[in-house]
Chains A and B, each alone.
Chain A
Amino acid sequence: MSSVLIEAPTAPVLTRRGAVLRMLRRNPAALIGSTILLVIAFCAVFAPLIAPYGLHTQVGPVFGRPSWKHPVGLDDGGIDMVTLLMWGARVSLIVGFAATFVSMAIGGTVGVLAGYFGGKVDTILMRITDYFLVIPDVPLMIVVAAIWGPSLFHIVIVIGILLWTGTARVIRAQVKSVRERVYVKRARALGAGHLRIVVRHVLPQVAPLLIANTVLTVAVAIFDETALSFLGLGDPSRTSLGKVIENAFERAAISSGAWWAIVPPGALVALIILGCSLVGGSMEDALNPRLRVAHLSARTFRLRPLVGRGDAL
């Protein structure tokens, strides 16, 4: 359907990086999103230093009420919730970023290869992508986690292996257009090899989009980890935010009236996902307005980019 749209005059390539900065300044959504993420990331990174209590020390009664000393109360083991939240965010973010790294590596490679070489390579790689796209990710994660046993490493690998399809598609489309640009053709005419063209000319062009996509994938990975933990397939030895929710649910926090043990961790996950969606969405908008709807895909079900479905782009 993109073919019927009248193409707006596109800004020169040079302003791409500038566009990201300008967008951050002008777009309140991006600003709010990045503030949320920075604050949470700060707490998560420095959790060992700034967490008020020990992660495994009981500091009060089971499900102790929120008080001045413990602003969010205590959990089922009498552990301070603020401490749990900081450590939980740390583990969740690690899972999110590690899984995203795996998916970015796979998706980026597939996207660049398919887009750059085109032809048979493109057809085969995109077919494979299509197959991965229709596998429902949460059920497969459940199956794999159930068979391999719960561990953080398995979760990261499974999420990473399943999430790369969106990245591959977006990057492929971008690489296809970059490949046809004059300076790339010129570099090829000057005798530059494939590797040099990809590394020096193509990658720098698609990198911002890859990063925007990454931010969105982090949100999906964190959501998936929370879901797996809730189903009892999380790593039992690691306190992720999903684990905190699951623990509170399992130990009947709701019927004990201990809302503080279950509301904050979920709200924190929602905040992280919100932050990622805001930042990633605005970045993608700034970089590639034609993919406006693609970033809605962060969820249990991945939707395809509306504009330029598949090969049309």
Chain B
Amino acid sequence: MRGADYVIKRTAFALVTVFVAVTLNFALFRLAPGSAVTDLSRVPHATPELRQALKKQFGLDKSKGAQYVIYLKQLVHGNLGVSFANEQPVSTNLRVALINTLPMVLLGTLFAIIIGTLTGVIAAWRRGTPTEALTVTSALGFYSMPTHWLGLMLIIIFAGTLPTGGMTNEFLINPSFWTHFRDLAAHITLPSLTLGLVLYGEYTLIVRSAMLETLGEDYILTARAKGLKPWTIVRRHALRNAMLPVATLVALSLGYIVAGAILIETVFSWPGIGRAVYDAVLQRDYPMLQGAFLLLTISVVFFNLVADLLYFKLDPRITE
């Protein structure tokens, strides 16, 4: 029964966190000195009437409390406001951007998980050999690189052979499905590779640590004493237990990866959620920025919940 208790507790915490994030989101944009909306009603050469009209239009003539209630009500209805830049509903803009971001992020994460697990396991198994030194050094190296800089390096290396910006070639007119797919695949390679390389370093180090810890356990010694082949020990006995923390860490990092994609999408002009944030900053498109921030926060909270529940599923000993 404690399990159900745990699930309810974590879910409640996530919901409260979302509420806190929503409030923070409101406060950041409305209460901060010189915030967006106050600036808006201070149009240069604006007549007092225009100023009043603007204030009324954006609901600024009401008290902060009333504004907060209105904000919450609109949010429940899924209304995130209208973008200053293209006058589309923010929610529509965000949906389009999110759909563009997800394949890129998932591909990169998949790459990182596969390569990272592989090198991490090798590093732990070959402890104290040059192989380990090489793996750990390269992982630390990629882990230390600023994300956007790594992207720029890839552009320098691959410029000419792979497309370095955008999602599709806009000069293709009515491409066949296959051409379109190949075009997309070419465009997605560099951004995904950048994300993959940055994450790979981190995953390698985590998997290695988890593996080292597991390899020190008594049941591994038993397995060895039974005369099992090294690979069988790794696969059947060590890796499964080592993947326990790794699985939660991956789930945990997913939320932040979406946020971290801001830099990559800026470098590669990928029209996703990160690029939307960047453009919103440049154009001072506050409703858009507010909506994107809310979406990113909620995704982090959501994946945190997933991580918690996943951990509980994989290791029921945890009940806090």
Interface residues in chain A, defined as those with a beta carbon under 8 Å from any beta carbon in chain B: 1, 3-4, 130-131, 134-136, 138-140, 142-144, 146-149, 219, 223, 226-227, 230-233, 242, 245, 249, 254, 259, 262-263, 265-266, 269-271, 273-274, 277-278, 292-293, 296, 299-304, 306, 309-312
Pick from B13, B209, B266: contact of A130, CB below 8 A: B13
Pick from B148, B210, B317: contact of A293, CB below 8 A: B210
CB of B292 within 8 A of CB of A266, answer no
**Which residues of chain B are near A233, meaning CB under 8 Å?**
281
Pick from A139, A149, A269, A278: contact of B293, CB below 8 A: A139
**Which residues of chain B are near A230, meaning CB under 8 Å?**
146, 148, 263, 266
**Which residues of chain B are near A4, meaning CB under 8 Å?**
317
B111 within 8 A of A: no
Which of A135, A143, A265, A293 has the largest number of chain B CB atoms within 10 A? A143
B204 to A: closest C-beta gap in Å: 10
B166 within 8 A of A: no
| Cα of A296 to Cα of B20 in the assembled complex, Å | 27
CB of B143 within 8 A of CB of A299, answer yes
CB of A245 within 8 A of CB of B148, answer yes
Encoded as 1 (CB less than 8 Å from any A CB) or 0, chain B from 199 to 226 comes to 0001001100110010000000000000
Pick from B34, B152, B257, B292: contact of A249, CB below 8 A: B152
| Cα of A147 to Cα of B36 in the assembled complex, Å | 7
CB of A226 within 8 A of CB of B146, answer yes
CB of A277 within 8 A of CB of B263, answer no
| Cα of A268 to Cα of B315 in the assembled complex, Å | 42
Interface residues in chain B, defined as those with a beta carbon under 8 Å from any beta carbon in chain A: 13, 17, 20-21, 24, 28-29, 32, 34-36, 140-141, 143-150, 152-153, 155-156, 159, 202, 205-206, 209-210, 213, 245, 249, 252-253, 255-257, 259-260, 262-263, 266, 277-278, 281-282, 284, 289-290, 292-293, 296-297, 300-301, 304, 311, 315, 317-318, 320
Top-4 shortest CB links A-B: A301-B256, A266-B149, A274-B144, A273-B144
Given the interface pairs A131-B20, A254-B155, A300-B147, the reply to whether A138 lies near B260 with Cβ below 8 Å is: yes
CB of B320 within 8 A of CB of A231, answer no
CB of B320 within 8 A of CB of A278, answer no
| Cα of A277 to Cα of B137 in the assembled complex, Å | 12
Pick from A3, A136, A270: contact of B256, CB below 8 A: A136
**Which residues of chain A are near B245, meaning CB under 8 Å?**
1, 293, 306
CB of B152 within 8 A of CB of A136, answer no
Pick from B147, B260, B281, B320: contact of A311, CB below 8 A: B320
Cβ-closest chain B residue relative to A272: B144
Cβ-closest chain A residue relative to B303: A134
Pairs A–B under 8 Å by Cβ, sample size 27? A4-B317, A136-B255, A136-B296, A136-B297, A139-B293, A142-B281, A143-B28, A147-B29, A227-B146, A230-B148, A231-B262, A242-B146, A254-B156, A263-B156, A266-B146, A266-B150, A266-B153, A270-B141, A271-B144, A273-B146, A278-B140, A296-B206, A299-B143, A299-B260, A301-B259, A303-B249, A310-B320
Pick from A259, A270, A292: contact of B146, CB below 8 A: A270
Which of A233, A274, A300 has the largest number of chain B CB atoms within 10 A? A300
**Which residues of chain B are near A311, meaning CB under 8 Å?**
320
**Which residues of chain A are near B205, meaning CB under 8 Å?**
296
Cβ-closest chain A residue relative to B205: A296
Given the interface pairs A147-B29, A266-B149, the reply to whether A136 lies near B317 with Cβ below 8 Å is: no
Cβ-closest chain A residue relative to B320: A311
Pick from A139, A278, A292: contact of B277, CB below 8 A: A139
A127 to B: closest C-beta gap in Å: 9
A112 to B: closest C-beta gap in Å: 23
| Cα of A270 to Cα of B144 in the assembled complex, Å | 5
Pick from A1, A143, A232, A242: contact of B318, CB below 8 A: A1
**Which residues of chain A are near B252, meaning CB under 8 Å?**
301, 303-304
| Cα of A293 to Cα of B244 in the assembled complex, Å | 14
A24 to B: closest C-beta gap in Å: 18
| Cα of A249 to Cα of B255 in the assembled complex, Å | 28
CB of A227 within 8 A of CB of B147, answer yes
| Cα of A284 to Cα of B290 in the assembled complex, Å | 38
| Cα of A148 to Cα of B29 in the assembled complex, Å | 10
CB of A270 within 8 A of CB of B149, answer yes
Pick from A130, A274, A296, A301: contact of B260, CB below 8 A: A301
A148 to B: closest C-beta gap in Å: 7
Cβ-closest chain B residue relative to A224: B146
CB of B156 within 8 A of CB of A259, answer yes
Pick from A139, A219, A245, A269: contact of B297, CB below 8 A: A139
B187 to A: closest C-beta gap in Å: 18
| Cα of A300 to Cα of B281 in the assembled complex, Å | 19
